[in-house]
Amino acid sequence: MDIFTFFPSWLFSTVSILLFSSIFIYSLRWKKTSKAAPNLPPSPPRLPIIGNLHQVIGKNFHQILWKVSRKYGPIMTVHLGATPYVIISSSEFANQALKTHDQILCNRPRSKGFKRLTFDYKDVAFSPHADQWKEMRKVLVTEFLGSKRSRLFKKVVDTEVKGMLDSFSSMPLNTTIDLDERLFHLVTDIVSKVAVGKSYREETFRGKKLKEMLDDLVISLCGSVSDIYPGRLGLILDELLGFNRRLEKTFSNFDAFLQMVLDEHIDHTGTSDHEKDMVDVCRSQLTTNEMKALLMNVLNGAIDTTTTTMVWTMSEIIKNPRVMKKLQEEIRRCVGRKSSVEESDVANMPYLKLVVKEALRLHSTVPFLLTRECVKHCQIGGYDIFPGTRVLINAWGIGRDPKVWKETASIFNPERLENVELDRSEMIPFGGGRRACPAASVATQIVEYTIANLFYSFDWQLPSGMKNEELDMEEVGSLIVVRKTPLSLVPVKHDWQD
């Protein structure tokens, strides 16, 4: 959503000057042609043509809008260029959007980037709500996330996590590990092997590794100028700012990569008795472009979000020694003296589940749920929402709502969730309603299992004598919010005292 993060500031200054030069002419026309809505959500004062862009451009878009909502209310209208967005920042109104009016607000807006990178809306995450979307979601749930793949998932997760633990154990004493990088490797290998049968993490394709291609995808999916300026102006600016060129290059690279993956499966058909991956079982059900769109969702959607959740969870635990001590006591008491944690052990670790859930509250998988588009008039909080209106739900802000979480909303405290029956809209890191993330359960299980093993086997320390309270928790990002600085830790093999 934060398309402005990726353009140089001087370029925006130039565009702003050009736009402001037309304000007088357009403002006269604006006043004559505008029609007042019966009861729209409140909005910050806006300027003609640019709307509220001058108030919200900057890094950490979710934080900016959260601060604005503290003044204008938990449901407000923000005009990004020529396009109005309704911003929801409370669980009460999120519940109305995701539950009461889910069917009305389950559509996705059209976008140049979405259309191109999803092979003309053949995916699950970004496509409009239609029969095509329903069929693709069914295939994803059945063939990648369902019971058919559970055995393969368990086998791959177990193998990869234990391999990572072994590599940490074999390192020289006081070795500092980049957890962002190592956890990305772990999740990439897990997701890739279940989806396409092997990991392409270390391979270079057209001069880029998989992570670089995924990063390019995220940038292109964040939006274009034509998304907020529909019409000729947006199209011209997309061309002038180089968005079209970058989009085509990103699409070409990823399309060729996915074609290579599919071709390798065709070449190896019938040559191995390996357990079938998602591509093996879906090839007969889907067209080539449908298969590519689904793989784009799996690789782009599952890897970064799961990795980021692990990193933020690790960060909060390290930042809070009391939590780390209590968590390790639970894990080690439950598991006893074994080489590692087994999947069945995790079910008996209630505090671990609270820790992961609290991390998700503070660090939502994505700061904003993917944009929804209203298809029929409805009301949220007594305000009118008209067809075509775009709705953004600030999941990051809802997780820090002082009306729900009180004055300690920004403090990491897993005990706050103990014996508490939460409304589903009070914590929505994976969305809600028809558009909820179908991989939420699987992703959470992988996070819990990995965290349990990391804190069972090792006593983690910060490098160079750094104190826990000195750990930098600043965040950056748009579609996905990550740590500004990588999480670097020293693994110390746990010394079992007899």
What are the binding residues for heme?
A: 437
Number of H helices, E strands in the chain: 22, 13
> Cα(441)–Cα(430) distance, rounded to whole angstroms?
10
> Cα(83)–Cα(212) distance, rounded to whole angstroms?
31
Spell 341-378 as b/e; 16+ CB within 10 A means b. Answer: beeebbeebebbebbbbbbbbbbbbbbbbbbbbbbeeb
Q: Give the DSSP H/E element, type plus range, for residue 178.
A: strand 177-178
What separation in angstroms does the CA of 368 have from each of 235, 239, 432?
25, 27, 12
Dihedral over Cα of 124, 128, 133, 137: its sign: positive
> What is the token pair recorded at 388?
């075509």
Total residue count of the chain as it appears in this document = 498
> Cα(389)–Cα(426) distance, rounded to whole angstroms?
24
Binding site per annotation, positions? 437
Spell 244-268 as b/e; 16+ CB within 10 A means b. Answer: bebbeebbebbbebbeebbeeeeee
